[in-house]
Structure 1
Amino acid sequence: MQRKIVKTADGSTTIHLPEWDEQYHSKHGAIQEAYHVFVKHGLHYFVELKQSEASQKTKDDIVVGESEKSNNISILEIGFGTGLNAFITLLEAEKLKTNMVYSGVEAYPVLMDEINQLNYPIELKAEDKSAIFKELHEVSWEALHKITRHFSLKKQKRFFSEIKEKSHYNIIYFDAFGARVQPELWTESIFQNMYDALKVNGVLVTYSAKGSVRRAMEAVGFKVQRLPGPPGKREMLRACKKA
């Protein structure tokens, strides 16, 4: 399948698939979409929830040895792709000084020749971390790597249907190709796997706002919110796993 590096509306690049008329990120702005959907409404939302919970607890409520462990945030990305979502999460982890363990699932990894043509470190004003961006793609698969002080990465080469972890993740970035071209990735069975993989009070965010996607999420037990979408999209979805 033909693949092209193209520039999106905010100046950041992405990979376009002409045969599907689909791209890895929004043509209205790859970085803007990533920050709006996954960082603002996923990561920051979850961090604020944790801070709110912590403020309600007294020191006597905290079990010795558990407080440090509870500070770790476990994130699963469905569609590691260009590594943009992982890279901006790494930057946020260092900014927040919060430990994050990031798992990126991808059945068809992007080639390094394509990665070298992407301009995310430049557009994010993080050129000093260009080597780290490349490292996200160069480290081996199926092993956990400590990339920075607060960010560890494990890349997994498998299909989304093969995710069978139970109560393992705090946040899921659901960034698969759209239901128009790959409807099999947006089914009840896939979202059941996602629901099972999340811990209680875990959060799943996605750029999609299709009614069929929302209904599939609700059918497996998610509490779903429609939220304002990134540039070029009216709405997006956030799904929570409640006790």
Structure 2
Amino acid sequence: MEERENPEERVKIIETEDGSHSLYVPELKESYHSFHGAYRESVHVYMLYGLETWAMRNPQTYPIRIFELGFGTGLNAWLALVWAEQHKVPVLYHTIEPYPLEESVYTALNYAQIDSSISHYAPYFEALHRAPWNEGVVVSTYFNMKKEKTTLQEVQLYPADVVFYDAFAPSKQPELWDLEVLEKVVASMNYGALLTTYCAQGAFKRSLSALHLQVESPKGPPGKKEMTRAWKQIVST
């Protein structure tokens, strides 16, 4: 696994097993994505088992409202934009990030070069990062975004159909996985909405079940046995 220093000491650019970049945070001893493949992980967890699954179950339900915890490298947002443009389906994307990347970092990331079939969407990757914070922006024909420089505890959430729960692992950021915070996210989800994440921790799944979500454990991305997906159902009274 190759590491490259960059001007921002907070993170290092690393190359994962599928050739795509991720970021490593020395202070946390944690990376933004799986070492087994950042690109493959995002496609598997957030596109295949997230956005695409919800869209197949809810055809002709537009716009699709997505909330992402952790804008980070912008990979999930870019993949969602590509999906929206390819399918000509309007997406309203709300994401938060308390520690945005420096330009020198995000311009060095190679996601747009990994899959040649979608490399023509490359200009949108930097457009997502350059978009102003804390206001709604039309990024492309089918993709509107609001990214906020704030925390999950402080943000005002909008109704969501799909939640990309992409925080650092519970061992690194336990405050983002406790029941009170999860309750806030679940309360913002529309009935029929899904939450998807790479995390398969038992305590996390039990918290989702306690909040009346229907919890599933699909096959995980490369290098991971399983992941978590949870649906918000109408609770009968």
Same fold (TM over 0.5): yes
Which segments of 5 or more consecutive residues in structure 2 lack a partner in the other structure? 1-8
Counterparts of 1:92 and 1:222, CA distance in 2: 26
Indicate which of 47, 50, 55 corresponds to 2:55. Answer: 47
Amino acid of the structure 2 residue aligned with 1:182: Q
SS of residue paired to 1:27: coil
- Correspondence list, 1:1-243, <5 A: 2-51=10-59, 70-125=61-116, 126-165=118-157, 168-243=159-234
Give the aligned length.
225
Report which of the two has the higher share of helix: 1
User: Deviation digits for residues 56-90 of structure 1, max 9, x if unmatched?
Assistant: xxxxxxxxxxxxxx420000000000000000111
Which segments of 5 or more consecutive residues in structure 1 lack a partner in the other structure? 55-69
Tell me the equivalent position of 2:6. Answer: none
SS of residue paired to 1:201: strand
Counterparts of 1:3 and 1:142, CA distance in 2: 24
CA RMSD of aligned residues (A): 1.3
Q: Residue 221 of structure 1: CA displacement?
A: 1.8
Greater Cα offset, 122-131 or 206-215: 122-131
Q: TM-score, normalised by structure 1?
A: 0.89
SS of residue paired to 1:160: coil
CA contact (8 A) 1:34 1:85 kept: yes
Percent identity of equivalent pairs: 34
User: Deviation digits for residues 141-172 of structure 1, max 9, x if unmatched?
Assistant: 11111111111111011111124436x11000
Amino acid of the structure 2 residue aligned with 1:33: E
Q: Residue 95 of structure 1: CA displacement?
A: 1.1
User: Deviation digits for residues 32-72 of structure 1, max 9, x if unmatched?
Assistant: 00010000011011011112xx6xxxxxxxxxxxxxxx420
Counterparts of 1:94 and 1:112, CA distance in 2: 25
Counterparts of 2:212 and 2:156, CA distance in 1: 17
User: Deviation digits for residues 183-237 of structure 1, max 9, x if unmatched?
Assistant: 1110101110111111110110000000011011112221111110000110100
CA contact (8 A) 2:16 2:34 kept: yes
Counterparts of 2:226 and 2:78, CA distance in 1: 24
Q: Residue 96 of structure 1: CA displacement?
A: 1.1
Q: Residue 111 of structure 1: CA displacement?
A: 1.2
Amino acid of the structure 2 residue aligned with 1:236: M
